[in-house]
């Protein structure tokens, strides 16, 4: 046996962290102090930067999430295209408008001397009723059956106010349709120079006795078709 044993740790095992390295150094130093004097230990100087540190493996296998391919959303502009049951011109509805001439009354004004905003909804409703009567549809007759053609949506765009005594025209048409709904366009112009006053869009839905949307009856559809064909012929 040689006079002295030399324990060399020139190639220490892979250390995965600086904390474990410090713990190992303390253990080796304690071991060296306990050895006999003729036994010499050479500890290599190693820093955490010189050792290949690796991220510890998870205690359980982790599966990478599978990338999901998302379909691009289709952008629909305007109203959803309804399944039109009417003979609409190129899908745009009636080509022409019916005209209803009216005159502003004093009780329709507000404190600023112009027509109150709420009154314009009545103007548009009056024009729709006139249009339905020309088609051959009476709101009273529909009500007697227990059904209803109710307004479900109305949007108004105010351009210029009307004042007391102004004469104006309300232009109305059916712009589109679905199985249970009719879509209307409205325009109001001041006479006699046809100055634009208002633009409006409305949606009317056919309701049953329980106020639930139902398909427009076939006899009502046929009246729309006859009216449109008559307008196209003229």
| Catalytic center residues | 110
Cα–Cα distances in angstroms (integers) from residue 54 to residues 48, 49, 58, 63, 84, in the given order = 11, 12, 12, 19, 67
Write down the number of H helices and E strands in the chain. 4, 7
Give the residue from 179, 225, 171 showing the smallest Cα distance to 197: 171
What is the secondary structure of 169-211 as a DSSP string? EEEEEEEEE-SSEEEEEEEEEETTTTEEEEEEEEEEEEE-TTS
CA distance 154 to 121: 8
Which of 185, 186, 184, 190 is closest to 160 using CA atoms? 190
Tokens of 119: 């009154």
Name the residue among 186, 129, 113 with its Cα closest to residue 156.
186
Q: How far apart are CA 124 and CA 139, in angstroms?
A: 15
Taking the mean position of all CA atoms in its chain, how far away is CA 24? 62
């Amino acid at each position: 046996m040689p006079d002295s044993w030399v324990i060399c740790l020139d190639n220490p095992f892979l250390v995965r962290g600086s904390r474990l390295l410090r713990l190992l150094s303390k253990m080796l130093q304690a071991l060296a102090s306990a050895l006999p004097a003729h036994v010499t230990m050479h500890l290599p100087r190693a820093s955490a930067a010189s050792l290949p540190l690796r991220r510890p493996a998870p205690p359980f296998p982790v599966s990478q999430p599978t990338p999901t391919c998302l379909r691009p959303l289709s952008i629909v502009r305007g109203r959803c295209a309804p399944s039109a049951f009417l003979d609409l011109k190129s899908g745009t509805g009636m080509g022409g408008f019916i005209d209803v001439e009216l005159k502003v009354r004093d009780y329709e004004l507000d404190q600023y001397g112009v027509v109150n905003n709420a009154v314009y909804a009545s103007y548009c409703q009056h024009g729709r009723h006139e249009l339905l009567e020309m088609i051959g549809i009476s709101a009273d007759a529909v009500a007697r059956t227990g059904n209803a053609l109710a307004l479900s949506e109305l949007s108004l765009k105010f351009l210029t106010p009307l004042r007391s005594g102004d004469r104006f025209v309300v232009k109305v048409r059916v712009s589109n349709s679905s199985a249970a709904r009719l879509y209307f366009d409205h325009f109001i112009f001041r006479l006699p120079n046809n100055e634009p006053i208002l633009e409006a869009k409305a949606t009317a839905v056919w309701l049953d006795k329980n106020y639930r949307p139902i398909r427009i009856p076939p006899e009502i559809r046929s009246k729309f078709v006859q009216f449109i064909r008559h307008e196209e012929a003229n």
